[in-house]
Chains A and B, each alone.
Chain A
Amino acid sequence: MTEQIVVVGNGMAGARLAGELYARGEDLKVTVLGAEPHRAYNRIMLSTLLAGKIGESAVELAEVAGRGVDVRTGVTVRAIDRTTRQVRTDDGDTIRYAHLVLATGSRPVVPPLPGLDPRRLPDRVVAFRTLDDCRRIRALADGARRALVLGGGLLGLEAARGLAARGLDVGVVHRVPYLMERQLDPAAGAMLADTLADLGVTAHLAVAPVAVAADAAGVRLELSDGTVLDADLLVLACGVRPDTALAEAAGLAVRRGVLVDDQLRSSDPRISAIGDCAEHGGGPTGLVAPAWAQARVVAQLLTGEDPRARYRARPVVTRLKAAGIDLAAMGDPADGPGEELTFADPARGTYARLRIHDGRLAGAILLGDNPSVGTVIQLFDRGQPVPADRRALLLGRAVGGDVATPAASPALMPDAATVCQCNTVSKGALVSCWRGGARSVDAVVAGTRAGTGCGGCRDAIAGIVDWLSRADPVEVTR
Chain B
Amino acid sequence: MTLREEHGQVTVLPREFPTNRGGLCQKGWTSAELLTHPDRLTTPLLRDPVSGELRPASWDAALDRIVTGLRDTQQRHGRDAVAVFGGGGLTNEKAYALGRFARVTLGTRNIDYNGRFCMSSAAAAGMRAFGVDRGLPFPLSDLGRADTLLLVGANPAETMPPLMRWLTEQRQRGGKLIVVDPRLTATARQADLHLQPLPGTDLAVANALLHIALTAGYVDESYVANRTTGFTAVRRTVAGWWPARAEALSGVPVADLEETARALGTAQRAIILTARGAEQHAKGVDTVTGFVNLALALGLPGRPGSGYGCLTGQGNGQGGREHGQKADQLPGYRKIDDPEARAHVARVWGVSADELPGPGVPAYQLLDSLGTASGPRALLVFGSNPVVSAPRAARIEGRLRDLDLLVVADFLLSETAALADVVLPTAQWAEEDGTMTNLEGRVLRRRALHRPPPGVRTDLQILTTLTTRLKGGAPSYRLAHRKGPLLTTIEHAADGADATDGEHGADPRAVFDELRRASAGGLADYAGISWERIDAADGVFWPCPDEDEADSPRLFADRFATPDGLARFHPVEHRPAAEEVCAEYPLYFTTGRVLAQYQSGNQTRRVGALRRAAPQAFVELHPDLADRLEVTEGEPVRVVSRRGEFHAPARLSAAIRPDTVFAPFHWGGAARANSVTNDAVDPISGMPEFKICAVRVEKAGTS
Which residues of A approach B to under 8 Å, CB–CB? Answer: 41-42, 44-45, 48, 53-54, 57-63, 288-289, 317, 319, 321, 326, 369-371, 373-375, 377-378, 381-382, 384-385, 387-388, 397-398, 400-404, 421-424, 449, 452-456
- Of all chain A residues, the one with the shortest Cβ separation from B22 is A452
Q: Is the CB of B29 within 8 A of A378?
A: no
A42: B residues at CB distance < 8 A: 239-240, 242
A453 to B29, CA, bound (A): 10
Query: Is B35 at the interface (CB under 8 A from chain A)?
Result: no
Sample 28 A-B pairs with CB under 8 A, ordered by A number: A42-B240, A42-B242, A45-B215, A53-B217, A58-B214, A58-B239, A59-B239, A62-B571, A288-B245, A289-B245, A319-B244, A321-B243, A326-B255, A373-B255, A374-B250, A378-B198, A385-B628, A385-B658, A388-B627, A397-B196, A400-B623, A400-B654, A402-B654, A449-B26, A452-B24, A453-B26, A454-B165, A456-B168
Q: Is the CB of B215 within 8 A of A378?
A: no
Query: Is B98 at the interface (CB under 8 A from chain A)?
Result: no
> Within the complex, what minimum Cβ distance (angstroms) separates B423 from chain A?
32
A400 to B622, CA, bound (A): 10
Q: Is the CB of A61 within 8 A of B240?
A: yes
Q: Is the CB of B624 within 8 A of A454?
A: no
Among A289, A388, A453, A456, chain B packs the most CB atoms within 10 A around the CB of: A453
Q: State which of B214, B240, B255, B654 has its C-beta within 8 Å of the C-beta of A62.
A: B240
A381 to B246, CA, bound (A): 13
Sort A-B residue pairs by CB-CB distance and give the 7 closest, nearest first: A454-B164, A453-B161, A454-B161, A319-B244, A374-B253, A424-B613, A401-B654
Main secondary structure of the interface of A (DSSP, over half): loop
> Within the complex, what minimum Cβ distance (angstroms) separates B491 from chain A?
54
B189: A residues at CB distance < 8 A: 403-404
- Of all chain B residues, the one with the shortest Cβ separation from A319 is B244
Q: Is the CB of B29 within 8 A of A454?
A: no
Main secondary structure of the interface of B (DSSP, over half): helix
Q: Is the CB of B251 within 8 A of A455?
A: no
- Of all chain A residues, the one with the shortest Cβ separation from B244 is A319
A424: B residues at CB distance < 8 A: 26, 596, 609, 612-613
CB within 8 Å for A422 and B242 given contacts A48-B215, A58-B214, A401-B654: no
Which residues of B approach A to under 8 Å, CB–CB? Answer: 14, 22-26, 29, 156-157, 161-165, 168, 184, 186, 189-190, 196, 198, 214-217, 232-233, 235-237, 239-240, 242-245, 247-248, 250-256, 571, 595-596, 609, 612-613, 623-624, 627-628, 653-655, 657-659
A324 to B352, CA, bound (A): 68
A-B CB contacts (within 8 Å), total count: 148
CB within 8 Å for A374 and B215 given contacts A421-B186, A454-B162: no
Among B248, B256, B627, B657, chain A packs the most CB atoms within 10 A around the CB of: B248
Q: State which of B196, B244, B609 has its C-beta within 8 Å of the C-beta of A321.
A: B244
CB within 8 Å for A388 and B247 given contacts A373-B254, A421-B186, A422-B595: no
A455 to B251, CA, bound (A): 33
A371 to B252, CA, bound (A): 9
Q: Is the CB of A398 within 8 A of B184?
A: yes
Q: Is the CB of A387 within 8 A of B157?
A: no
Q: Is the CB of B624 within 8 A of A385?
A: yes
Q: State which of A289, A381, A453 has its C-beta within 8 Å of the C-beta of B23.
A: A453
A422 to B26, CA, bound (A): 6
A101 to B254, CA, bound (A): 34
B22: A residues at CB distance < 8 A: 452
A41: B residues at CB distance < 8 A: 239
A132 to B23, CA, bound (A): 61
Q: Is the CB of A63 within 8 A of B659?
A: no
Q: State which of B196, B216, B623 has its C-beta within 8 Å of the C-beta of A388.
A: B623
CB within 8 Å for A397 and B657 given contacts A45-B215, A374-B251, A456-B157: yes
B242: A residues at CB distance < 8 A: 42, 44-45
- Of all chain A residues, the one with the shortest Cβ separation from B29 is A449
CB within 8 Å for A375 and B236 given contacts A388-B624, A453-B25: no
Q: Is the CB of A60 within 8 A of B609?
A: no
- Of all chain A residues, the one with the shortest Cβ separation from B186 is A421
A384 to B583, CA, bound (A): 12
Q: Is the CB of A373 within 8 A of B247?
A: yes
A452: B residues at CB distance < 8 A: 14, 22-25, 29
> Within the complex, what minimum Cβ distance (angstroms) separates A371 from chain B?
7
> Within the complex, what minimum Cβ distance (angstroms) separates B322 from chain A?
28
CB within 8 Å for A60 and B655 given contacts A397-B196, A452-B29, A456-B157: no
Q: Is the CB of A60 within 8 A of B624?
A: no
Q: Is the CB of B655 within 8 A of A402?
A: yes
> Within the complex, what minimum Cβ distance (angstroms) separates B350 from chain A?
46
Q: Is the CB of B26 within 8 A of A423?
A: yes
> Within the complex, what minimum Cβ distance (angstroms) separates A47 from chain B?
11
CB within 8 Å for A58 and B161 given contacts A377-B251, A421-B186: no
B256: A residues at CB distance < 8 A: 374
- Of all chain B residues, the one with the shortest Cβ separation from A446 is B13
A421 to B614, CA, bound (A): 11
A61 to B232, CA, bound (A): 10
Taking A397-B657, A453-B164 as known contacts, 15 extra A-B pairs with beta carbons closer than 8 A to each other, sorted by chain A number, are A42-B240, A58-B215, A59-B239, A62-B237, A373-B254, A373-B255, A374-B253, A422-B595, A423-B26, A424-B613, A454-B23, A454-B157, A454-B162, A454-B163, A454-B164
Among A44, A57, A423, chain B packs the most CB atoms within 10 A around the CB of: A423
A319: B residues at CB distance < 8 A: 244, 247, 254
B216: A residues at CB distance < 8 A: 53
- Of all chain B residues, the one with the shortest Cβ separation from A59 is B239
A401 to B194, CA, bound (A): 13
Q: Is the CB of B215 within 8 A of A54?
A: yes
A377 to B156, CA, bound (A): 31
B596: A residues at CB distance < 8 A: 424
B163: A residues at CB distance < 8 A: 454
- Of all chain B residues, the one with the shortest Cβ separation from A318 is B244
Q: Is the CB of A60 within 8 A of B235?
A: yes
A288: B residues at CB distance < 8 A: 245
A62: B residues at CB distance < 8 A: 233, 236-237, 239-240, 571
A377: B residues at CB distance < 8 A: 247-248, 251
> Within the complex, what minimum Cβ distance (angstroms) separates A125 from chain B?
28
- Of all chain A residues, the one with the shortest Cβ separation from B253 is A374
A371 to B253, CA, bound (A): 7
A387: B residues at CB distance < 8 A: 624, 658
> Within the complex, what minimum Cβ distance (angstroms) separates A334 from chain B?
22
A288 to B245, CA, bound (A): 10
Q: Is the CB of B251 within 8 A of A45?
A: no
- Of all chain A residues, the one with the shortest Cβ separation from B160 is A454
CB within 8 Å for A63 and B236 given contacts A377-B251, A385-B624: yes
- Of all chain B residues, the one with the shortest Cβ separation from A384 is B659
Q: Is the CB of B235 within 8 A of A57?
A: yes
B253: A residues at CB distance < 8 A: 370-371, 373-374
- Of all chain B residues, the one with the shortest Cβ separation from A41 is B239
